[in-house]
Chain A
Amino acid sequence: MNISHWTTHSLGDFAYWVASDFTAQIESKLEADVISNSEFAERLGVSASRVSQVLNDPGNLTLGNTVKYARALGMKIALVMYNDTDPENEKGPITSEVFTKCWERLGKPHDLFDLRAMRSNDRSWTVYKSTAGNVESKYMPITVQESASTTAQEGWRRRA
């Protein structure tokens, strides 16, 4: 039995999934930081019932409001378009936390220069993190595995 994912039915269904994926992140953050709906509503300047309404029916979420909600929790937001070699969307979308976890694993690069500083060796990926504010703009290794060709000391690299 091979039935396509429910978000293939319409663009509206796909949009509903993406909006739900966003509100689920909000709910998870509220739970993790022990913030009540009413406290969150206060930060947003709306009623608690409005917050519940959005979390329970995210279908009408606007881009402006997603930014507003994320910022009220001290977070930022990105819209990511990706190609997962499933153009007909038979497998369904990929949850945003997958992208977030990948980004965190790479040491939270802030730009493509940070990302390019990541280099591979024969045994593992070595990740370098920009030392913000450092005049010499060095990269600091945050996960370095010893191999025949790479040691933590060698891992220091100056920005070109």
Chain B
Amino acid sequence: MPPSTISFRLVPQVQHSSGRAVGILEGDSELCADMLLNLPNKEWKYIQYSMDRWTSGQNGPSTRFHSFEGTNYFVFKHVAKQHRFYGFLYHPIETNRRSLLCVLTTYARKKEDATSPADLKRVQAWMDAPATPIAIKYFYSEETANKDKKQ
């Protein structure tokens, strides 16, 4: 995967708690999770509630989102509408292991329940990409700077 100018941002209008947040990695043609921002209103609301639920500290139901045992992969899904948004879990603040970020990278539209290894491979590639932690770190440093300005 070639290095590119990728960026990270939190999913807008979703609750981001002190413990969890959901964001999107963007800026490369293979990064397609931002598709969720173009969903029809009802489907977007379904996913938004699921994200609110996860960021509030809950770990189910698995019909809406789940991690993959023994890995950092994560998925938000809308089974009836065949949407899957894959990503990975990441600790954005090195000194706070309780702070958890779900970084969405990949969108898939599919009928079958089983996850395609190809989708997870794409997630893994972005997990390993050196540009990923840089983009996330940059986002948080900007956030901190903006907060400081306001104060």
Contact = CB atoms under 8 A, between A and B. Distances in A.
B partners with A: yes
A33 to B, nearest CB: 12
B60 A31 contact: yes
A30 B80 CA distance: 17
B45 interface: yes
A103 to B, nearest CB: 16
Q: Interface range on chain A: under 10, 10 to 19, 20 to 34, or 35 or more?
A: 20 to 34
A24 B63 CA distance: 9
Given A1-B146, A13-B45, A59-B42, A92 B62 contact: no
Interface stretch (A14-22, A125-133, A139-147): A14-22
Interface string B1-35: 00000000000111100000000000000000000
Contacts, number: 61
B13 A17 contact: no
Contacts of A21: 49, 53
B60 to A, nearest CB: 5
B138 to A, nearest CB: 14
A20 to B, nearest CB: 4
Interface string B30-64: 00000000000010011011101100101011111
Interface of B: 12-15, 42, 45-46, 48-50, 52-53, 56, 58, 60-64, 78-81, 146
13 contacts: A3-B13, A6-B13, A6-B48, A16-B49, A20-B46, A21-B53, A24-B53, A27-B64, A31-B61, A57-B80, A91-B15, A95-B56, A97-B58
Closest 3 CB pairs of A and B: A27-B61, A56-B80, A6-B13
Given A6-B14, A17-B45, 14 more contacts: A4-B13, A6-B13, A20-B45, A20-B46, A21-B49, A27-B60, A55-B63, A56-B46, A56-B78, A56-B81, A57-B46, A92-B15, A94-B56, A95-B56
